[in-house]
Amino acid sequence: MDDRKLQIFLDSLLPLLKAGVAYTIPLALISFILGLLLAVATALVRISAWRIPGLIARFYVWLIRGTPLLVQLFIIFYGLPAAGIVLDPFTAAVIGFTLSVGAYSSEIIRAAVLSVPKGQWEAAYSVGMTRVQALRRIIVPQAVRVSVPPLSNSFISLVKDTSLAAGITYVEMFRTAQQITATTYEPLLLYCEAALYYLLFCSVLSVVQSRLEKRFDRYSAG
């Protein structure tokens, strides 16, 4: 690496990190939290015997899982203005990622709730609990434990997927790398640098994930 490249590399370390911490991570976090709320609601509706809401929930999951995330983002940001709905890049990105997390995670949560043995419901009923009490005290705590690993994976994927928001002009970490590239003409260097930051973020999250899993593993068999 010659001196100029080294200088560009060093000069962009801080701007990229700033963009990551100030834009990429908040986008991922906000979308994930909203998405989880949506996912819980979707999963509960699908588990319940509520017919029409159940069908709507299934349609939503089918639609989101069957279309590319980038295309969804383009429809929300570039397409909706034609229908009179103009959103700023951040809002559009949050909506797109929330819908995506909501659909994929609802399947994870649904599977986790259904994985709790029927005997647990019966034991809860046998001590006199209502359906809601059984869910809250007995079923959900066990389902949460089952869903922590796959939900952590979803979050890690989401952190990487936020780079798609660059496509709708949201200046997060990847778009920042693109902008620096435009003035320095060093795409290989800058994109690899951005990749390294993603790698760093995801590695930290993996460590957090295994901590979480250990915490929830306290009472598991074995």
Partner 1 sequence: MIEVRGLHKSFGQLQVLKGVSLRLEHGKVLVIIGPSGSGKTTLLRCFNLLEIPDGGSLSIAGLELSFAGNVKLARKDILSLRQKSGMVFQSYNLFPHMTALGNVAEGQITVQKRSRKEAEKRGEVLLAKVGLSDKTGAYPHQLSGGQQQRVAIARAMAAEPEVLLFDEPTSALDPELVSEVLKVIRQLAAEGRTMIIVTHEMRFAADVADTLILMDQGVILEQGTPQQVLEQSENPRVRQFLNRIKGE
Positions touching partner 1 (CB under 8 A) are: 117, 119-120, 122-130, 133, 137-138, 141-142, 145, 218-222
Whichever of 27 and 116 has its CB closer to partner 1, that residue is 116
In this complex, which beta carbon is closest to partner 1, that of residue 133 or of residue 157? 133
Alpha-carbon gap, residue 82 to 71, rounded angstroms: 16
> And the tokens for 129?
């609990």
Q: Shortest approach of partner 1 to residue 114 CB, angstroms? A: 17
Q: What is the distance between the alpha carbons of residues 187 and 193, in angstroms, rounded to a whole number? A: 10
CA dist., res. 9 & res. 184, Å (int): 10
Q: Min. distance of Cβ 150 from partner 1 in angstroms?
A: 19
C-beta of 218: minimal distance to partner 1 in Å?
Answer: 8
| CB contact at 8 A, 209 and 33 | no
Residue with Cβ nearer partner 1 (123 or 208): 123
The minimum distance between CB 194 and partner 1, in angstroms, equals 41
| C-beta of 30 vs 144, nearer to partner 1 | 144
Least Cβ distance, residue 130 to partner 1 (angstroms): 7
Q: Cβ distance 193 to 12 under 8 Å?
A: yes
Under DSSP, the state recorded for 172 is: S
Between residues 84 and 222, which has the closer beta carbon with respect to partner 1?
Answer: 222
- Compute CA distances 173 → 114, 126, 167, whole Å: 38, 54, 12
